[in-house]
Amino acid sequence: MTRATTSARLAEHYRQEILSGALLPGSKLPSNRELAGTWQTTAATVTRALGALLVEGYIVTSPRGTFVSDAPPATLSPANRLERVQRVKSLLAEGETSRVTFAGLVVPPLYVAELFGLNHGDQVVRREWTAGRGQVRTAFAVTWYPAQFTALVPDLLNTAPGRNDGLTAKVLEATGRTITHARDDMHAREADAREATALAIKVGSPTLAMAWRWSDKDGVIEYGEACLTPRLTIGYEYLPC
């Protein structure tokens, strides 16, 4: 096994331990020497693995050793994602990537059809994707768009890597629409089998589920649903009225 592979496996092991709650905030990790012995690798390899976790915010270091960060890794709220779309045309946070597992025209569930004002049997675009940082999956999402948008934005039906990030900005530019109303809804629940598989967590793991609705006077432009892996934090600032 190469040093690079060992470094990645070591980092992934501790990411999952932290995300699952097996290692709580403030928990002390073994010393670099102990880790090198346990993983039968070099000190340099351990340093690379811990360096990745340090940059990602999972751990902190001090003269006393290496500890799990008190502040859990953060991700973006739908409001933050919309702000990034409007500011830099990117749906994703810095360092975040996404992978699309499905994109196609489908007859949606009744509640989605009602959101878009569709008749029985009408289709919409459905895109299913996961977001993550490094080897860690942070969110599983499904986004929906009006079917007529595909004529202007063919990438809505494209699952190729790199096409998902700027898609909302492309839709707004191509359609000439402007999001003037946005609503987010969130609730905590257990992950179902499909979500657990997408996020590489156990069925029944706690998750924060959310939905967003971005629209203008002509109707919904994008509707999305997502759920997050355990221990991810959503935070945002706002100005009191």
How crowded is residue 140: how many other Cβ atoms within 10 Å of its Cβ?
A: 27
Q: What is the predicted pLDDT for the residue at 133? A: 80
Region of poorest pLDDT, from 71-75, 113-117, 147-151, 196-200: 71-75
Q: What is the predicted pLDDT for the residue at 2? A: 55
pLDDT digits (tens, 9 = 90+) for 4-59: 689 989 998 998 788 767 888 899 999 999 999 999 999 999 999 999 899 888 89
Place of tokens 């006393």: 64
C-alpha 116/C-alpha 13 separation (Å) is: 43
C-alpha 51/C-alpha 65 separation (Å) is: 13
8 Å CB contact between 193 and 205: no
pLDDT digits (tens, 9 = 90+) for 73-125: 778 899 999 999 999 999 988 778 999 999 999 999 999 999 999 999 999 99
Q: What is the predicted pLDDT for the residue at 136? A: 77
Q: Which domains does the chain have, with CATH numbers?
A: 3-68 (1.10.10.10), 74-234 (3.40.1410.10)
Q: What is the predicted pLDDT for the residue at 232? A: 83
